[in-house]
Amino acid sequence: MSLKIYHNPRCSKSRQALAILADKADLEVIDYLKTGLDLATLSDLYKKTGGDVRAMMRTGEAVYKELGLKQIEQDAALLAAIVAHPILLERPLVSDGRRAVICRPPELAAEFLD
């Protein structure tokens, strides 16, 4: 099984999800804070998570408040904000190409192993 994990190595939840998957799947680790995110990839992940852009966002980040994103209702504008500020992406996010799951708690990553 081939999986992608959108990972922040400084995040304990992300490291825990990575540990769950590391030896059990062909895993591509994407350090999205270094590589960034493009809108096409993020839009695809958004659809695969079920289409709840706020669930994909770290609403406690300072940049979320600074940009006034709480008042924004358009999903496209929120996705663009994540592309511009990758720190806004909730992590870890795991995808098998058909679906994507925000693995909070990290144990949700195990769903891909069944």
DSSP 7-53: --TT-HHHHHHHHHHTTTSEEEEE-HHHH---HHHHHHHHHHTTS-G
Domains of the chain, CATH where assigned: 2-113 (3.40.30.10)
pLDDT at 114: 73
pLDDT tens-place string over residues 74-90: 999 999 999 999 999 99
CB 113 within 8 A of CB 106: no
| Active site amino acids | 11
pLDDT at 91: 96
pTM: 0.93
